[in-house]
Amino acid sequence: MGKDGQVDSEQVSWILFEVANDLILPRFGAVPSTQEIEVKTRPGDIATAADREGEREIARRLRAEYPDAVIVGEESVYSNPRLLDGYAEAEHAFVIDPLDGTLNFTRESTDFGVMVAEIKKGVTTRGWIYHPMYRTIWVAEKGAGVTRNGQPVSYQRPERDGLIGATYIPFKLEGELPAHLRRTWGSCAIDYPKLIEGEVDFLAYRSMFPWDHLPGALMVTELGGFTAVEDGTPWAAGVQGKRLMSAMTPENWHEADRLLEVSNLYGPGTGK
């Protein structure tokens, strides 16, 4: 235990390491029939046995450490959407994405991750992003910064002309992306570290499920960045909108907002 009875962030990291090693990685590269693939809301939105079993085990172990916390995961919410009710107002909550980038996983791409965020009364206090294939874990604690494999991270703005962003848009528009945009990596667990490392200057999404964005958004904020919906409202647990965008500086966010408005991919932004 850490101070005030809080489990150390490293202990939560070990939960993610062990669940990935025991329940997720053994299924990587397995034949589809053994992955128990389930199509959820649309083609490409899928879950596997690794998703379901990984979430159950992470939730079980977190619940053992935090018996009073509200714990919700992507797969359990798919089965029962009401489980999300009240998590943003809870005294203490966790959201779990047991396998972010499931489609990549089933296609034998290494771009997938395991994510957890801790929320207290609507404020994200800690976040974890683990890349099992790269043996890399990013951890953020509110007010204490971000680490990568235990080493402090700082954002270094790349020297290039203009901004480059990554966006998740409908497939039919992929060939029409403006020069300043590329497709995301198909996993928020990969996207946010790419943003932090400077490979892109901003990220833009239509969906804003908490398990996808809370861990990475805290990391961006801790490094001086800005994550907000289309009208400029800072994004947090419970905030909804039509577009979610994250950038490593507030200035980049507003410039990206103008670029997206000109591109007309996401509709109007702040107009600033």
CATH number of the CATH domain containing 83: 3.30.540.10
> Residue 130: what pLDDT?
98
Mean pLDDT of 87-113: 93
Residue 128 sits in the same domain as residue 188: no
157 within some domain: no
Handedness of CA 125, 131, 132, 136 (dihedral sign): negative
Residue 206 sits in the same domain as residue 120: no
- Residues 243 and 52: their CA atoms lie apart, in Å, by 28
Residue with tokens 């497939």: 171
CATH code: domain of residue 177: 3.40.190.80
Domain boundary among 152, 183, 199: 152
**What backbone torsions phi and psi does residue 88 show, to the nearest 5 degrees?**
-70, -25
Residue 194 sits in the same domain as residue 71: no
Q: Which domain holds residue 92?
A: 3-152
**Whole-number mean pLDDT of the chain?**
87
Number of domains in the chain: 2
Residue 194 sits in the same domain as residue 87: no
E strand spans, the chain:
38-39, 46-47, 70-73, 93-100, 113-120, 123-131, 136-141, 145-148, 151-152, 165-167, 181-183, 202-205, 226-229, 244-247
pTM of the model: 0.89
Is the pLDDT assigned to residue 146 strictly greater than 90? yes
> Residue 30: what pLDDT?
67
60 within some domain: yes
271 within some domain: no
- Residues 175 and 53: their CA atoms lie apart, in Å, by 37
Kindly report, residue by residue over 58-81, the tens digit of the pLDDT. Answer: 999 999 999 999 999 988 888 788
Contact 110, 6 (CB under 8 A): no
Q: Which two tokens stand for residue 73?
A: 């995961």
- Residues 119 and 125: their CA atoms lie apart, in Å, by 6
Residue 30 sits in the same domain as residue 119: yes
What are the residues whose beta carbons fall under 8 Å from the beta carbon of 209, sequence distance 6 or more? 74
Residue 11 sits in the same domain as residue 140: yes
Residue 27 sits in the same domain as residue 133: yes
- Residues 141 and 58: their CA atoms lie apart, in Å, by 19
Residue 54 sits in the same domain as residue 87: yes
In the chain, the largest separation of any two C-alpha atoms, in whole Å, equals 53
Query: For residue 187, which amino acid is it?
Result: S
Residue 145 sits in the same domain as residue 203: no
Contact 122, 45 (CB under 8 A): no
Q: Is 175 left (phi over 0), alpha (psi -120 to 50) or beta?
A: alpha
160 within some domain: no
26 within some domain: yes
Residue 142 sits in the same domain as residue 12: yes
Domain boundary among 91, 120, 152: 152
255 within some domain: yes
Angle at alpha carbon of residue 269, lines to 265 and 270, rounded to 5°:
165
Helix (H, G, I), strand (E, B) or coil at 207: coil
- Residues 97 and 137: their CA atoms lie apart, in Å, by 14
Residue 147 sits in the same domain as residue 252: no
- What percentage of the chain reaches a pLDDT higher than 70? 83
Residue 73 sits in the same domain as residue 27: yes
Is the pLDDT assigned to residue 269 strictly greater than 70? no
Is the pLDDT assigned to residue 93 strictly greater than 60? yes
Domain boundary among 152, 183, 201: 152
195 within some domain: yes
Kindly report, residue by residue over 179-211, the tens digit of the pLDDT. Answer: 688 889 999 999 999 999 999 999 999 889 999
